[in-house]
Amino acid sequence: MSSTSLSPALPSILIVSPALAEANNGNWHTASRWARMLRKHCRIGIAPRWDGEPCDLLIALHARRSAPSIEAWSTAHPTRPLVVVLTGTDLYRDIRVDAAAQRSLQQATHLVVLQDQGVHELAPVLQTKCCVIYQSAPRLAAGALPRRVLRVVQVGHLRDEKDPETFMRAAVRLAHRDDLRFEQIGAALDPAIEAAARRTEAAAPHYRWRGDLPRPTTRQRIRAAHLLVNSSRMEGGAQVILEAAQSATAVLASRIPGNVGMLGVGHAGWFEVGDDAGLARLVERAAEAPEFLTRLRAQTLARAPLFQPAEEARRLLALVHSALTSRPS
């Protein structure tokens, strides 16, 4: 385990993240950010698995993919704390059908979800050991409101769970409009979806697929956009939504629990999963009705206090303190 050079009297914590830096995905960003937040308070490391090295607390991201580490830790240290952080695929797929993911829930002494609707996916007996920690990002200065061109961006690797093709189909529906620009950012993890992106570029002259971009560049693209679209089929708590909120960029999103938990039930920018026609109507409404875009922006910005780094750190430190000072039931 890599660690800081702090006093050995400090507790040691290992974060198990199946995805490391090269993946450039939500799990890795969570692990990296939490390590930075904890560095002054403990000896901290990140690894793709627990290999038996001694530590006081294990934090495992992903109930299914980290299940071997969770099982090994529970067997070796049945009285030590184990925090399991539930992702979107955990909450909305794996814990319903996968025995290893279900066992991880039982073995955890503490569970974490990344938005407030996630708790409702758990049985009541599991809810008692679950807390909500919203992810965070630094605030960026708001971009300018549109004058003649409305810029729409989607950020996320091109894979089925993110449903990037709904965004592409909406861009094709609106290809006739010169006052709209569509930009899609993310690495192609599925050759068929990459081919769809290429076809969309040919069919919609104002659509561009940018591929994978560095995180700072992506954040500036979100800040410069007027609308961020999240069309996912499942989400644990989308990092790009909070980054939009922290840039005062309005959000349009698929009406799934993970997005509702980030934006609130009363958000005005919902469309149904896979409904490219509904998404296109919302984009047109934002372009044609400034008051609608202003309302969307205000609603998104109102959620920003939940996504402040200080708030995430407060919740994370409270969890770690609880885990290290309590005993498994």
> Tens digit of pLDDT for each residue in 203-256?
999 999 999 999 999 999 999 999 999 999 999 999 999 999 999 999 999 999
- Do 12-135+308-325 and 150-307 show the same overall fold? yes
Q: Please report, for the chain, the start and end positions of each structural domain, with discontinuous segments joined by +.
A: 12-135+308-325, 150-307
Residue 24 pLDDT > 60: no
Report pLDDT digits (tens) over 275-301.
999 999 999 999 999 999 999 999 999
Report pLDDT digits (tens) over 114-159.
999 999 999 999 999 999 999 999 999 988 878 899 999 999 999 9
Round to whole Å and give the CA distance between 263 and 248: 13
Average model confidence (pLDDT) for the chain? 93
Q: Between the CA of residue 155 and those of 4, 25, 90, 138, 163, what are the distances in Å? A: 33, 11, 21, 18, 11
Residue 21 pLDDT > 80: no
150-307 adopts what CATH topology? Rossmann fold (3.40.50)
Residue 327: the pLDDT is: 61
Whether the Cβ atoms of residue 229 and residue 185 lie closer than 8 Å to each other: no
The CATH class of 12-135+308-325 is alpha beta
Residue 305 pLDDT > 90: yes
Average pLDDT over residues 190-194: 96
Tell me the pTM.
0.89
**Of 110, 115, 102, 108, which Cα lies nearest the Cα of 77?**
108
Task: Determine phi and psi for 57, rounding to 5 degrees.
Answer: -150, 135
Residue 9 pLDDT > 90: no
